[in-house]
Amino acid sequence: MSGHDALERRLGVVGAGKIGTAVARAAVAGGYHVAISGSGAAERIELIVDVLAPGAHAVTTDEVIRYADLIVLAVPMHRFRELPRDLFADKIVADAMNYWEEIDGVDQELTTAPMGTSMIVQERFASSRVVKSLNHLGYFKFEDGRRPPGAPDRLAMATAGDDPAAVAAVIQLLDRLGFDAVDAGPLAAGFVLQPGGPVFGISHSYDGLSKLLLSEASRA
Ligand SMILES: NC(=O)c1ccc[n+]([C@@H]2O[C@H](COP(=O)([O-])OP(=O)(O)OC[C@H]3O[C@@H](n4cnc5c(N)ncnc54)[C@H](OP(=O)(O)O)[C@@H]3O)[C@@H](O)[C@H]2O)c1
C-alpha cells in the first residue's frame, strides 16, 4: 500500500456512542484504520470500543482529528460546539448529527437553520469541508444493512456537500461501509436528509433514493 493509500484508509470518528461505534465497526470491516474518541480520556472508551468496534483505536478527540483527513462527527448536536474547531482546518467532515429538541434542548440557531443544521456546522468549522451524510438511517443499519457492491438489496445513503473532493471521499466511505451513495447536491440540500424530512429513517435502494431526491429538488 502506498503512503497515499494508507492515509486515505484512515478514518476518524468523534463520538463513541451508538452511531459512532457502529460506523467504526463497519469501517474496520471495510478496510479502514479507525481512530475513535468520546468526550474524555481514551481509557474511558477502551472497553466499549474493544467490544463494539474491535480493531478501532480509542484515543482522544484531538488525536482523532490529527490522525485522519476524513472525520465522522457523531456527537449529540448540543455538544458539537465543544469540539476544537481549529483542528478541523482542511479536514473533510462527514456530519452524521441530527438535531433533536428532546435530546439537544432548544437551540435557536439549529431550530431556525433554514438550509439545515450542517450549514451551521460548516460555519463553525469554516476551514473544513463539511458533507452531510450517514445521518438518515438508524445505527443498526450499519450492521444489518451492509451489503457488497452490486448486491440487489443494497441500501443507499445520501451525501450533500459543496466540495466535490470531500463529497467523493464520503461517497467512497459509504461504498466501503457497504452502501450505495446518492449525491443529493450542495450542503444546503442536506436539509431534506434531516429528521422530519422525506428521506429520514426510511430504507431505500439507490434508484428509490435517487428518485425521491430528484422529486424533492424539483419542488424546491
Ligand atoms: N443513534 C442513531 O441511530 C443515529 C443515527 C444517525 C445519526 N445519529 C446522530 O448522531 C449523533 C450521535 O448519536 P448517538 O445516538 O450515537 O449518541 P450517543 O449514543 O449518546 O453517543 C454520543 C457520543 O458522543 C460523545 N461525545 C459527546 N460530547 C463529545 C465531545 N465534546 N467530544 C467527543 N465526543 C463527545 C459521547 O461521549 P461521552 O459519553 O464521553 O459524553 C458519546 O460517546 C446525534 O446527533 C444523533 O442524532 C444517531
Mean pLDDT of the chain: 96
The SS3 of residue 59 is coil
Distance CA 201, CA 203 (A): 7
CB of 63 sitting under 6 A from ligand 1: no
pLDDT above 90 as % of the chain: 93
Domain-wise residue ranges, the chain: 3-219
Average pLDDT over residues 189-206: 96
Q: How far is the CA of 77 from the centre of ligand 1 (A)?
A: 8
β pairing state of 156-161 and 129-133: antiparallel
* Percentage of the chain lying above the pLDDT 70 cut: 97
- Beta carbon of 116 within 6 Å of any ligand 1 atom: no
Nearest CA to ligand 1 atom 47: 98
Q: Answer whether residue 7 shows pLDDT above 90.
A: no
40 lines ligand 1 (CB under 6 A): yes
Residue nearest to atom 29 of ligand 1 (CA): 39
15 in contact with ligand 1, CB cutoff 6 A: yes
The pTM (predicted TM-score) of the whole model is 0.97
What counts of helices (H) and strands (E) characterise the chain?
10, 8
Distance of CA 184 to the CA centre of its chain: 15
| 9 CA → ligand 1 middle, Å | 23
Amino acid letter, 213? L
Per-residue pLDDT reduced to its tens digit, 42-71: 999 999 999 999 999 999 999 999 999 999
Q: How far is the CA of 172 from the centre of ligand 1 (A)?
A: 23
User: Which residue CA neighbors atom 33 of ligand 1 most closely?
Assistant: 39
205 in ligand 1 pocket by Cβ < 6 Å? no
Q: Report the CATH number of the 3-219 domain.
A: 3.40.50.720
Beta-carbon neighbour count of residue 151 at 10 Å? 11
Give residue 5's pLDDT band: very low, low, confident or very high (50, 70, 90): low
**Grid coordinates in use for 182?**
446518492
pLDDT, tens digit, 9 for 90 and up, residues 105-125: 999 999 999 899 999 999 999
